Amino acid sequence: MPVRANCHRHFLADTMPDGTENPLKYYRGIAMRDAAMTAIKPGSRDKFDLDSMDEDDFLVGNQGGIGFGGGISGGFIQFGNWTGDLEQNPHNIVHVLVGRGGGWIGNPITAGVDPLFWLHHCNVDRLWQAWMGAPGKHMVNDPRWNHGPADRAFIMPVVGGNKPGISFGGQDCLAGGLFFPQYDDLTKGTGVTQGVQAVTRVSMGPSESQTVEVIGANAGPVRVSAEPAMTEVAVDLPGANAAVLSMGVTEPGEEVSRLYLALESVKGDLASGMLDVYLDLPEGAKPEEHAEKHVGSVALFGLNVASKPDGPHGGNGLSYTIDITDQAKQFTAAGLGKGLLKVTLQTRDGHSGDATITVGRLSLLKRTGKVG
């Protein structure tokens, strides 16, 4: 589902409601109207979409490697750092696309001072609210989320800038919370309709009874710089065959599975960037000429912070999952049956230079549930 790159009228108005000049009218010295249009130019591989709204579960697996909401943070999770679906796309993608001209929103350290950040994050909150209101979605009632995030504190500045501001957590932005807004509409541009079930995906049953297991992995860390890097994921055949058999199952009560490609411990010095992922690219082929082999992109927002050895992620970087269930037929022929999956990684133009991105391990995950 495409997202229209249109700009909110409050950012375009010449004056504030009281007649004074609108400080939001300019973005980095350029009129917002032009800045927004030149900054957000999604390319063919940007996959800037609302696919995450199709996910039914907020959190699956021990540390949230798969799900709409994503990874648990804090001292208990020392090696995880998983990125959730909504966090990945559109959240991270927008940070990266809008910030790629050098805007503050492109770096987690400066993002909060960018006026577009607040517009963007309000929209992420709105998408979350819309998702919760759609039937068939399993939101958690988990204090680790309600009182989170555990790895940092959120502070809302007060007018006049007096310290300490207002501290708040996840719960304060949900219904009944201090910062919960009244939404006029939760359908427009959200990809879901309130109270109406969209049959985009087979329900996999309660989140807690679903399992996630690794059924394939490559041999070791992959370094990606200006040149694309190819690696082979060796697949455990019994696991893969079982996954293939139960992938399209719709019979209630039967086992159903989805397949994910996981990029574990992605590290680098970049504040943000994009990594394109291709499956089964022919030897020596140029990735950008094979859109049909492109299975997804990960927006590396905050890679620099997550890769710092003494930062809150302990230098483990970030981890991502890409749902490749729909491409399954394509790569059943392409190597899943032979037990080998060829994966090519390429950094996106303008972000590569001589900077290197390392992926600790590439693995194939099988998520299993029972059709509900």
Binding residues for another protein (CB under 8 A): 61-63, 65, 74-79, 142-144, 147-148, 150-151, 212-217, 219-221, 234, 236, 239, 264-265, 309-316, 360-361, 363
Distance CA 59, CA 43 (A): 30
Tell whether the torsion through CA atoms of 136, 142, 147 and 151 is positive or negative.
Answer: negative
Question: Least distance from C-beta 360 to another protein, angstroms?
Answer: 5
Q: Name which of 76 and 118 has its Cβ closer to another protein.
A: 76
Length of the chain, in residues: 372
Q: How far is the CB of 171 from another protein (least distance, A)?
A: 11
CB of residue 79 to another protein, shortest distance in Å: 4
Minimum gap (Å) between residue 311 Cβ and another protein? 7
Please, which residue, 146 or 330, has the CB nearer to another protein?
Answer: 146
- Give 352 or 363: the residue with its C-beta nearer to another protein: 363
Q: Toward another protein, which CB reaches closer, 63 or 89?
A: 63
What CA–CA distance (Å, rounded) separates 78 from 154?
21
What count of other Cβ atoms lies within 10 Å of the Cβ of residue 249? 15
DSSP 45-75: T---B-GGGG--BS-BSSS-SBSSS----ST
- Indicate the Cα dihedral angle 240, 243, 247, 252, nearest 10°: 170
Token pair belonging to 25: 């009218």
Cα 185 from chain centroid (whole Å): 24
CB of 242 to another protein, least distance (A): 11
Q: Judged by CB, which is closer to another protein: 101, or 221?
A: 221
